[in-house]
Amino acid sequence: MQVKKQNGGSSKAELELDHELPPAENGDEPAPQGSFGTGAPEDGGSATTGEDVQPESELERIRAERAAYLDLAARLQAEFDNFRKRSIKAQQEYKEYALADALTSLLPILDSLDNALKTKAASLEDFHAGIELIDKQFHDLLAKLGVQPVPTEGEPFNPNLHQAIQVVETDKAEDNHVLDELQRGYKLKDRLLRPAMVRVARNAKS
């Protein structure tokens, strides 16, 4: 491009400006305007990728995993039900066997009572002595099973072990102590089977 400027009939220096773009390499034509950018289609459409469509094989895999988990859950539930039934049966059998052992231990005492009723005692003292032997035999069996009598007479009154039937004003025992026993109580180790019925002393002087 040539620009000429005349002043007073004399020519000035010519200023040439070239705004042409350099040719593209390998003979390619320059890219047309509007072709720069992300390469999106000119018609405004959106490209579809494979990630937008879930393959059928992926759905089949998820269905298979779901079926496997449901089957596992059903198996675990069945195993738990069987375990619970076995536990209940084992507990019931244990109770029955424990009761059978206790009853078997009582049979000799029952035999002693039967023999005492069949035998004619020579005197009342002999009959009393036989009853005492049977009583000792029975208490020995209870002790072997872990059953012990509740301590009473002379012991401080304990509402967890004693049942007060009467409160007696007396100086023969300390205040709030067991005066005497009306019915024996028993414990199975640390568990109370029944409380002892007692009379409790009230002594204002002590």
Same domain, 179 and 152: yes
Question: Is residue 30 one of the residues assigned to a domain?
Answer: no
Q: Which amino acid is at 119?
A: T
Residue 184 lies in domain: 148-206
In a domain, 37, yes or no: no
Distance CA 117, CA 108 (A): 14
Digitized pLDDT (tens) for each residue of the chain, 206 residues in all: 444 444 444 444 444 444 455 555 555 555 554 444 444 445 544 455 555 556 788 888 899 999 999 999 999 999 999 999 999 999 988 888 888 888 888 899 999 888 888 888 778 888 888 889 999 999 999 999 899 999 999 999 999 999 999 999 998 889 999 999 999 999 998 899 999 999 999 987 76
At 173, which CATH number?
Answer: 2.30.22.10
- Pairing type for strands 186-188 and 147-149 reads antiparallel
Same domain, yes or no: 175 and 192:
yes
Q: Which of 145, 163, 184 is the last residue of a domain?
A: 145
Whether 29 is covered by a domain: the verdict is no
The SS3 assignment for 91 reads helix
**pLDDT at residue 22, as a whole number:** 55
110 domain residue, yes or no = yes
Dist CA 86 CA 78 (whole Å):
12
Residue 98 and residue 141 in one domain = yes
> How many residues comprise the chain?
206
**CATH code (residue 77):** 3.90.20.20
| Domain total of the chain | 2
Query: What's the pLDDT score for residue 51?
Result: 52
